[in-house]
């Protein structure tokens, strides 16, 4: 599908890679794996990856953690607590959602709250399961000399814990988070700092993520090649104006894109 889109490039003043405000009109072409060009793409020097719901099913892990908390509290069901994390009052990761839930059900005590937070954190990490093909694909890219980075909106302690829990931390040169970049996606600063750490520029780099708004749109705007990990997009809001270079239905299709099979 051919589409013309206007891309607005932000001004990033604090990094080595400087870009001025510009309007750019470009022809983009969405490619899914069933209609893609058979010619493999050349391997890039580096790739950026989102973490949650791109490498593993974070929705599942969070559901499991919420269920454990409601079992501990003896009230309600996991899905009810999960809705507290979604409603935006405290943010998607904040323990205060648990506090509100316990208070609304008249079971809040300091002891239960602290226990619930511990159970929640432990279960969330213990329930992380890689999507099929992730470990093998990451290992292959790493062995071919592609430098890898994580660009995530999780805070550093959580991001580092999750990357170690799934056994992939050693393959990534850097893990860039909002406490490092000062910004959350879709602001491009996290991407730019990751690229700076890797010593590369956006125009020759790729980004992979499950969110059109948080990874594909800023990646396109920076002139990167973008891969939409559709299998992980549990929110599923359509963004017809945001067009990735590739859409994949399983992680190992990344190898197909680069002819690594």
For binding to Mg ion (CB under 5 A), which residues are involved? 50, 52-53, 210
CB 227 within 8 A of CB 245: yes
Min dist. Cβ of residue 53 to Mg ion (A): 4
- State the Cα–Cα distance between residues 220 and 222, nearest whole angstrom: 5
225 - beta bridge partners? 206
Q: What is the closest distance, in whole angstroms, from the C-beta atom of residue 71 to Mg ion in the complex?
A: 27
End-to-end CA distance of the chain: 27
Q: By C-beta, is 52 or 253 nearer to Mg ion? A: 52
Residue 114: CA count within 13 A, CB half-sphere: 3
* Chain centroid, CA 180 distance in Å: 16
What are the tokens at 119?
Answer: 């159970």
Q: Which is nearer to Mg ion, 50 or 123 (CB)?
A: 50
- Residue number of the CB atom closest to Mg ion: 53
Three-state SS at 17: coil
Residue closer to Mg ion (CB basis): 56 or 120 = 56
Which residues lie closer than 8 Å to 159 by C-beta, 6 or more apart? Answer: 51, 150, 152, 175, 177
Residue 125 Cβ, how far from Mg ion at the closest point, in Å? 16
Q: Which is nearer to Mg ion, 53 or 67 (CB)?
A: 53
Q: Which is nearer to Mg ion, 50 or 217 (CB)?
A: 50
HSE, side-chain direction, 13 A CA sphere, residue 168: 28
Rounded to a whole number of angstroms, the minimum distance from the CB of residue 50 to Mg ion is 4
Helix (H, G, I), strand (E, B) or coil at 27: strand
Look up tokens 């794996």; give the residue.
33
Decide whether 52 or 200 has the Cβ nearer to Mg ion.
Answer: 52
As measured in angstroms, the least distance from the Cβ of 214 to Mg ion is 7
CB 208 within 8 A of CB 47: yes
Q: How far is the CB of 60 from Mg ion (least distance, A)?
A: 13
Closest approach of Mg ion to the CB of residue 51, in Å: 7
Distance CA 121, CA 125 (A): 7
What's the CA gap between 238 and 158, in Å, rounded? 29
Give the residue with the Cβ less far from Mg ion, 173 or 233. 233
């Amino acid at each position: 599908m051919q589409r013309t889109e206007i891309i607005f490039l932000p001004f990033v003043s604090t990094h080595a890679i400087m870009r001025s405000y510009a309007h750019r009109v470009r022809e983009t072409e969405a490619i899914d794996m069933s209609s893609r060009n058979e010619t493999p793409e050349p391997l890039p020097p580096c790739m950026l990856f989102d973490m949650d719901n791109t490498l593993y099913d974070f929705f599942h892990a969070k559901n499991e953690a919420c269920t454990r908390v409601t079992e501990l509290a003896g009230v309600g069901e996991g899905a009810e607590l999960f809705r507290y994390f979604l409603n935006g009052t405290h943010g998607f990761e904040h323990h205060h959602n648990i506090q509100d839930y316990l208070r609304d059900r008249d079971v809040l005590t300091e002891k239960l709250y602290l226990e619930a937070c511990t159970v929640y954190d432990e279960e969330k990490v213990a329930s992380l399961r890689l999507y099929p093909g992730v470990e093998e694909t990451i290992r292959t890219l790493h062995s071919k000399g592609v430098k890898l980075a994580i660009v995530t909106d999780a805070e550093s302690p959580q991001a580092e814990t999750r990357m170690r829990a799934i056994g992939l931390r050693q393959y990534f040169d850097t893990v860039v988070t909002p406490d490092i970049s000062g910004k959350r996606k879709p602001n491009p600063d996290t991407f730019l700092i990751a690229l700076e750490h890797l010593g590369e520029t956006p125009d020759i780099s790729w980004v992979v993520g499950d969110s059109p708004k948080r990874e594909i749109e800023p990646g396109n705007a920076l002139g990167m090649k973008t891969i939409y990990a559709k299998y992980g997009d549990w929110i599923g809001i359509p963004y017809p104006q945001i067009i990735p270079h590739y859409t994949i239905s399983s992680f190992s299709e990344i190898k197909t894109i680069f002819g690594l099979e």
